[in-house]
């Protein structure tokens, strides 16, 4: 399987399968002398970790991350610093129950990657969906935690803004609410409604899709290359690379199609400190593929989890028509745990573009 690496100058390579002994990643190109501890990576791992509420898979993974290389404390007992050499991260799989998946070893779940992996490679690790499992995204979150530290002042935040047919009320948006409910929801009222809705979905053995919004603050103007290395192009590719993602928007996104030119163009004035100040941010912080200095705004839609209890029509490896229903432990809405993953992908893109900008233009 080729193409397991992402990024140019801040480049990650992830490895491992859902039910193998461990997963992990190697980060190549991280600048030296950045303070880094396992604990600060773990904060982000704990937000993505499964089994934290009844609305996510009950698989009990601790997702403890270990730094195997690329850091050193020049003074004994002092803070570890990155050395500029490859950083290798390891996350052990401690709660894999492969027998839950034996029924799908020969069957193709509709909506999952069983059919395409078999068609492409002629072999697939069906245990926990192997490399097609979102377990791989734990490595992205670990790498993203380091990427956040590469860009001075960078803050990346994510929120769930729609579950099934229910969007949040954006007038109630409160970032402080995001860590107060099991959904990363910035609207406390909608979080309560989602709880009842998802309880029902889960009891029926069904699943639903969702929309996630990710915002990067303190991104300086100038990141991005204007033709084939557009910042928005790379953010879209990054988000689309997450499992189950079916659509990505930047700024006003698809909504821009129904705006007039007057409504859409972000007007500019000189702010109190003499710096250009945009009056709105329909562009999502990017013009001509280059960051404006406004927050970067991306949204992505995830489809409903394909592993559901309701029988669906499919075929098996012998070419017979069968019905498939999936047992095992699955997320009724993968959008919840996709929030920290989206944040990580945004951080990885910004860190990579920060280094690419520095390489071409200077510090
Ligand atoms: C955080 C997260 C958790 C996921 N959990 C599950 C799951 O429990 N069961 C499942 O069938 N798919 C799950 N998925 C989606 C599958 O990994 C994905 O649908 C599959 O790899 C096929 O790829 P595609 O949907 O991108 O085409 C999850 C996705 C994400 C982002």
Check if 339 has its Cβ closer than 6 Å to any atom of ligand 1.
no
Q: For a ligand 1 pocket test, name from 202, 244, 326 the mutation site with the most ligand atoms within 8 angstroms of its C-beta.
A: 244
Q: Supply the pLDDT for residue 170.
A: 98
pLDDT for the residue numbered 327: 80
| 112 CB near ligand 1 (under 6 Å) | yes
* pLDDT at residue 222, rounded to an integer: 97
305 close to ligand 1 (CB < 6 Angstrom): yes
pLDDT of residue 58: 83
pLDDT at site 100:
79
Position 97 scores a pLDDT of: 85
Would you say 353 and 361 are in contact if contact means Cβ atoms under 8 Å apart?
Answer: no
Q: Which residues contact 24 (CB under 8 A, 6 or more apart)?
A: 14, 15, 16, 88, 89, 90, 91, 139, 142
Kindly state if the Cβ of 57 falls inside 6 Å of ligand 1. Answer: yes
Residue 66 CA to ligand 1 center (angstroms) comes to 25
Tell which atom from ligand 1 comes closest to the C-alpha of 338. 1
CA–CA separation, 101 and 103 (whole Å): 5
**pLDDT at site 95:** 86
- Minimal-distance CA residue to ligand 1 atom 12: 305
**Per-residue confidence (pLDDT) for residue 167, from 0 to 100:** 98
Is the minimum distance from the CB of 137 to ligand 1 under 6 angstroms? yes
Return the pLDDT at 151. 98
**Ligand 1: which of 115, 119, 134 to mutate, most ligand atoms within 8 Å of CB?**
134
Give the position of tokens 């734990």.
Answer: 138
- For ligand 1, mutation pick of 334, 337, 345 (most atoms within 8 Å of CB): 334
Question: Could you read off the pLDDT tens digit of each residue along the chain, which spans 363 residues?
Answer: 899 999 999 999 999 999 999 999 999 999 999 999 999 999 999 999 988 888 888 888 899 999 999 999 998 889 999 999 999 999 999 988 888 788 889 999 999 999 999 999 999 999 999 999 999 999 999 999 999 999 999 999 999 999 999 999 999 999 999 999 999 999 999 999 999 999 999 999 999 999 999 999 999 999 999 999 999 999 999 999 999 999 999 999 999 999 999 999 999 999 999 999 999 999 999 999 999 999 999 999 999 999 999 999 999 999 999 999 988 778 899 999 999 999 999 999 999 999 999 999 997
The C-alpha atoms of residue 123 and residue 93 are separated, in whole angstroms, by 22
- Contact between 308 and 325 under an 8 Å Cβ cutoff? The reply is yes
Structure tokens belonging to residue 143: 């790498």
Ordered alpha helix ranges (H), 113-268? 114-121, 137-150, 188-203, 231-240, 261-264
Give the per-residue pLDDT at 326. 86
Instruction: Round to whole Å and give the CA distance between 270 and 70.
Output: 44
306 lines ligand 1 (CB under 6 A): yes
The confidence score (pLDDT) of residue 136 equals 98
Alpha helices of the chain — where are they, by DSSP H? Answer: 38-48, 114-121, 137-150, 188-203, 231-240, 261-264, 335-361
User: DSSP states of 106-118 as a string?
Assistant: SBPPTTSSHHHHH
Axis-axis angle for helices 335-361, 231-240 (nearest 10) = 150
Residue nearest atom 13 in ligand 1 by C-alpha distance: 305
H/E segment holding residue 156: strand 155-163
């Amino acid at each position: 399987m080729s193409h397991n690496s992402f990024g140019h100058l801040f480049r990650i390579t992830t490895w491992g399968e859902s039910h193998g002994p461990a997963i992990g990643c190697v980060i190549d190109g991280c600048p030296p002398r950045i303070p880094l501890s396992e604990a600060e990576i773990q904060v982000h791992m704990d937000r993505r970790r499964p089994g934290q509420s009844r609305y996510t898979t009950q698989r009990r993974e601790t997702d403890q991350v270990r730094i195997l290389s690329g850091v050193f404390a020049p003074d004994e007992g002092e803070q570890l610093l990155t050395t500029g050499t490859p950083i290798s991260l390891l996350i052990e799989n401690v709660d894999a129950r492969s027998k839950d998946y034996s029924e799908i070893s020969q069957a193709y779940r509709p909506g999952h990657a069983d059919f395409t992996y078999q068609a492409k490679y002629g072999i697939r690790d069906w245990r926990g969906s192997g490399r097609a499992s979102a377990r791989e995204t734990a490595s992205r979150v670990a790498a993203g935690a380091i990427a956040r530290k590469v860009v001075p002042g960078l803050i990346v935040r994510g929120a769930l803004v729609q579950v099934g047919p229910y969007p949040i009320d954006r007038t109630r948006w409160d970032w402080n609410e995001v860590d107060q409910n099991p959904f990363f929801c910035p609207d406390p009222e909608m979080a309560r409604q989602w709880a009842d809705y998802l309880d029902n979905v889960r009891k029926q053995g069904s699943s639903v899709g969702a929309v996630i919004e990710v915002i990067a603050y303190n991104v300086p103007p100038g990141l991005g290359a204007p033709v084939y290395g557009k910042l928005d192009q790379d953010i879209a590719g990054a988000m689309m690379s997450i499992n189950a993602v079916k659509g990505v928007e930047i700024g006003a996104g698809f909504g821009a199609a129904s705006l007039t030119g007057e409504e859409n163009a972000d007007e500019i004035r000189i702010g109190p400190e003499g710096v250009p100040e945009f009056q709105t941010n329909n562009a999502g912080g990017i013009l001509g593929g280059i960051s404006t200095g406004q927050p970067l705004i991306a949204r992505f839609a995830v489809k409903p989890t394909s592993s559901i209890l309701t029988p669906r029509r499919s075929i098996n490896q012998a070419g017979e028509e069968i019905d498939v229903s999936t047992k095992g432990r699955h997320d009724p809405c993968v959008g919840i745990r996709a929030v920290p993953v989206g944040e990580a992908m945004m951080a990885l893109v910004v860190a990579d573009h920060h280094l690419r900008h520095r390489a071409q233009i200077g510090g």
